[in-house]
């Protein structure tokens, strides 16, 4: 559970590496907050497609809180994404591939799903604590 909030603790730490579990648990946390937001919007009567644009005061307050949440997680989201790419021994410049429609997002998804490089790489030590010396561990 602490890995879910690790990106918030490392708010603007763009160097180093992030495990897959840390990255995906943070994504789950954001998704859960979004689900709660939409459930609250529906429960307060602010999620009615037939009333497009009609939002009551509580709905406006929820939208404001969600906007503040969204702005607050931009930096930690970018930071954990940079560190996740570093874990796969890729530069954060790979994020620019997302500018390519569809293909860019799929390439990044594959990178996010790949295991990190075992042992230290050019971006730092293995976040799992593995030494990277497979021969010594097997012997």
102 secondary structure, DSSP code? T
Return d(Cα 76, Cα 19) in angstroms, integer.
15
Indicate the DSSP class of residue 122: T
Res. 135: pLDDT tops 70: no
Over residues 118-132, the mean pLDDT reads 84
| CA angle, 102 then 107 then 110, to 5° | 125
Q: How far apart are CA 33 and CA 29, in angstroms?
A: 6
Residue 86: helix, strand or coil by DSSP? helix
Whose structure tokens read 């050019």?
122
Please state, rounded to an integer, the average pLDDT across all residues of the chain.
87
Residue 45: per-residue pLDDT: 77
Number of separate domains in the chain: 1
**Prediction pTM value:** 0.83
Cα 79 from Cα 28, distance rounded (Å): 16
Domain that holds residue 104: 2-138
* 130 or 40, greater pLDDT: 40
Closest CA to 6 of 91, 110, 77, 86: 77
How far apart (Å, rounded) are the C-alpha atoms in residues 30 and 24? 10
If you average pLDDT over residues 56-61, what whole number do you get? Answer: 84
């Amino acid at each position: 559970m602490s890995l879910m909030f690790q990106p918030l603790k490392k708010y603007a730490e763009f160097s180093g590496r992030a495990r897959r579990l840390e990255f995906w648990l943070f994504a789950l946390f954001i998704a859960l907050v979004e689900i709660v937001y939409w459930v609250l919007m529906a429960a307060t009567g602010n999620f009615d497609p037939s009333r497009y644009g009609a939002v009551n005061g509580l709905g406006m307050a929820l939208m404001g809180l969600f906007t503040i949440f969204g702005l607050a997680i931009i930096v930690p989201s970018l930071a954990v994404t940079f560190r996740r790419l570093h874990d796969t021994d890729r530069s954060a410049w790979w994020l620019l591939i997302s500018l390519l429609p569809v293909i860019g997002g799929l390439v990044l998804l594959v990178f996010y799903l790949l295991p990190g490089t075992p042992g230290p790489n050019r971006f730092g030590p293995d976040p799992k604590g593995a030494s990277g010396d497979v021969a010594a561990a097997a012997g």
